[in-house]
């Protein structure tokens, strides 16, 4: 599933569209996770794309009368294509712009979303429940420490909870915990303030490094320009079960937490 760095990379790849008016909207298959609003075909043409932003794993495209909310789901891609690029089987939604470029949602599993969020997207039901952005100042060790006081769940599960902090998916949770030298099964409420400071810093560092590498390319993810990400080449633990730890050479282990594979080094991340 695309995580925060992949969504941010996709959003940045769409930057050439900012300032362009919409010429045409095509909805081929409206039945995604939620139905694509049919009236977009009539309401968006002639409106100009004014800006692009990201909230958690959602891309917000600002037009004259409000915001279009886009989500990649589990296997979706948003591609930036030429006007004459033929649609494929899983191409569900197009925004054709006046300069000939096309924003296209390609989503084989149909867990993505195209929704109208109105003039105040922060009030949309999907966004009001979200925690702080991990790369902003509101997220720090103090925030984690206060949130963890009432949480006995494993810390890996806690930092993947979007109510606590957004965008820390399975890959980056495993990598951040390794960098912070914290075992993923540690109950969140057992972490000291110093450990929370360390974890918050490593979440920020891991996501920043992933952004610089263009995200990770596992299975379906490519940026809007069709280029893959390269952060998977820097993984310490993720998907490296049985391989030697890059720090101490101990074999990486794998456990299931919250129905997700979780990777760690038993020596660098000892159990509490």
Would residue 187 show up in a list of annotated catalytic residues for this protein? no
Would residue 57 show up in a list of annotated catalytic residues for this protein? yes
What is the C-alpha to C-alpha distance for residues 159 and 223, in angstroms, rounded to an integer?
A: 25
Burial-class residue 42 by CB neighbours within 10 Å (0-12, 13-18, 19+): exposed
**Which residue is it, tokens 């948003």?**
78
Catalytic residue among 3, 6, 175, 202: 3
| 237 phi-psi bin (left φ>0, alpha ψ -120 to 50, beta other) | alpha
Asked if residues 206 and 176 have their Cβ atoms less than 8 Å apart, the reply is yes
Catalytic residue among 187, 234, 260, 266: 260
Would residue 5 show up in a list of annotated catalytic residues for this protein? no
Catalytic residue among 54, 55, 57, 240: 57
Would residue 246 show up in a list of annotated catalytic residues for this protein? no
Query: From residue 188, how far is each of 80, 121, 160, 192, 265 by CA, in Å?
Result: 41, 32, 12, 9, 18
Catalytic residue among 2, 121, 134, 154: 2
Residue numbers annotated as active site: 2-3, 57, 260
């Amino acid at each position: 599933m695309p995580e925060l760095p992949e969504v941010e990379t996709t959003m940045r790849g769409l930057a050439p569209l900012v300032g362009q008016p919409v010429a045409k909207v095509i909805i081929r298959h409206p039945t995604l996770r939620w139905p694509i609003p049919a009236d977009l075909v009539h309401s968006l043409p002639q409106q100009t794309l004014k800006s692009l932003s990201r909230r958690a794993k959602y891309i917000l495209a600002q037009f004259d009368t409000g915001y279009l909310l886009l989500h990649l789901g589990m296997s979706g891609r948003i591609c930036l294509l030429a006007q004459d690029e033929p649609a494929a089987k899983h191409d569900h939604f197009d925004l054709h712009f006046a300069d000939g470029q096309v924003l296209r949602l390609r989503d084989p599993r149909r867990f993505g979303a195209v929704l109208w969020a109105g003039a105040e997207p922060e009030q949309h039901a999907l966004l009001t429940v979200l925690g702080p952005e991990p790369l902003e100042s509101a997220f720090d060790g103090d925030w984690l420490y206060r949130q963890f006081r009432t949480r006995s769940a494993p810390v890996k599960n806690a930092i993947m909870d979007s109510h606590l902090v957004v965008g820390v998916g399975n890959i980056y949770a495993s990598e951040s915990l390794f960098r912070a030298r914290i075992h993923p099964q540690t109950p969140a409420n057992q972490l000291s303030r110093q450990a929370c400071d360390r974890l918050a810093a490593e979440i920020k560092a891991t996501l920043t490094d992933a952004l610089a590498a263009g995200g990770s390319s596992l299975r379906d993810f490519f940026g809007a320009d069709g280029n893959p990400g390269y952060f998977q080449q820097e993984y310490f633990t993720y998907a490296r079960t049985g391989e030697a730890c890059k720090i101490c050479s101990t074999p990486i282990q794998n456990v299931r937490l919250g129905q997700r594979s979780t990777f760690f080094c038993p020596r660098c991340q000892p159990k509490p």
